[in-house]
Amino acid sequence: MPSRRFDDRQENDIGCLYRAGRSEGQIARLFGTSPTTVRAALRRVNVATRSQQQAVRLNAYALNREAFKEPLTPIAEYWSGFLMADGRVTDNATIVLRLQQRDRGHIEKFRSFLGSEAPIYFEAATKSVGITVCSREMTDDLAKLGIVPRKLLVSRACDPLADSPHFWRGMFDGDGHIVWSTIQLFGGMPLLEQWLRFAPKFGQQPTVARNR
């Protein structure tokens, strides 16, 4: 068996790229390794490899690569907020949205928004469902909105988006909670500071508490 060449984050990225339609050879070139090593990484993250027929069908899936092109529609602002809260963008132009199995309907709505026929996959280890798409144009557009790789502590929405109620609705659907009549939103400080400036426009007076 080929020796391990990647850390956990890299192996997860390999799985995301493969689910998004990249071939083992394409992924190997991106990471400077061999298809055999990529295949071993896929086994470790429990991603089943495709037959040639499945690969041809996957590469034919439609995708609206302008879904996050500015000016944004209200629904695009909503999904920008949801991705900011619960999605993930990788350095290799992959967009991942993974939710609990009971939220499969929301994954289906996101897929519909993207104009995509990409398969929704089930991950037994985490009992979650997800969708992965790959588009450099789309991840570049998301970066302009503030949605970038490893965004947790540095995320900050672009100025027009930070004034959108649709964006904040997406954020709360992804990372918001109601506890004893108190609305809670979780995120990095730059993003929460934007919420502090936005909320009073709708009669809210929020406070920020740091988690230890």
Structure token pair of residue 16 = 């995301």
**What pTM was estimated for this model as a whole?**
0.77
Averaged pLDDT, 81-102: 92
Residue 128's pLDDT is what?
Answer: 92
Cα–Cα distance measured from residue 163 to residue 159, given in angstroms and rounded to the nearest whole number: 7
Residue 17's pLDDT is what?
Answer: 82
Residue 168's pLDDT is what?
Answer: 94
Cα–Cα distance measured from residue 27 to residue 47, given in angstroms and rounded to the nearest whole number: 14
Reported as a single tens digit per residue, the pLDDT across 108-160 is: 999 999 998 888 988 887 889 999 888 889 999 999 999 999 877 778 999 99
Instruction: For residue 212, give the amino acid letter.
Output: R
Helices and strands (H, E) in the chain, number of each type = 10, 6
User: What is the residue whose two structure tokens read 């949605």?
Assistant: 147
Instruction: For residue 72, give the amino acid letter.
Output: L
Task: Produce one character per residue of 24-62: b if its CB has 16 or more CB atoms within 10 Å, e if not.
Answer: bebbbebbebeeebbbbbbeebebeebeeeeeeebeeee
Q: Is the peptide bond before 71 cis (omega within 30 degrees of 0)?
A: yes
Residue 118's pLDDT is what?
Answer: 83
Cα–Cα distance measured from residue 45 to residue 88, given in angstroms and rounded to the nearest whole number: 17
Reported as a single tens digit per residue, the pLDDT across 11-49 is: 888 888 888 777 888 888 888 888 889 989 999 988 888
